[in-house]
Structure 1
């Protein structure tokens, strides 16, 4: 019995599994504010709090926290790059006229979920 159990455990240890995860990093800025955030599988893992000048790990205490060594310093550097890019883009697009084409089709978005086969009310504000 022990030998069978040992072979079973060895089989599990040598097996492989494919697991796909969605990893996302967001960098955004304006003249007065900025955003830097990491997420994994749709859950926020880490973000930079620029007002408190620190990185924040918003997971609950019972979860192993993902540490991001040098994360806040990286976020500050990314904000500097973002603001520089913002300046360059504003300068490059300064003289371009704004296009104001009317929409080619009428688009209606419902406020509530629309149920097929039921009477639904759409309210239009003009």
Structure 2
């Protein structure tokens, strides 16, 4: 019979999504697993609410603390994923074929805040429209791989059945630096890379420039107002003189 194959393939991320439709909103519960990744996440309208961090063995709240806390049972929901995957692999082993369609990701890179030199910021790499998971995201700075200060979101289902994901890199931008985000996915013939160059405002120049422009406009307004005031006074004086002359002639 030979040795049994591993339960999971690291290149395949088995996903089970449970969707609950409300009158206005759409809630979802996503559970996924592979040899190297595990995910158990609750979301609403495509956004994360709670997820379980399997590396740290704790639940993570992904929404602001603006309401009473709601608890979920983690990671007990993950066990059905493992069980269902075992059943799926057994079915597949007896020649039941499920066609797998793939969609390549679309990638964009942008800063979270307005960029100011030497001021901490966050670069965001948004990977969307891919199927199936997983994707691999890597960062580089000036063509050198970066492995620190990186955070990765959970896989989020989209309304069209594809998935999206965010990768974030904390940076302190300096003039002339170049950052890149590279995405690998089975539907891509080659890795997809997006490049971002630091084009920033030097500290202090922005506020000073606005202040200078405001001061100039203010002075221009004062001079313009004084000009019209003097002109009006002169016209009034001339009209008064003409009125006096008319009175004398009439007499």
When normalised by structure 1's length, the TM-score is: 0.50
Which entry has the higher C-alpha Rg, 1 or 2?
Answer: 2
When normalised by structure 2's length, the TM-score is: 0.27
> As a proportion of its length, which structure holds more strand?
2
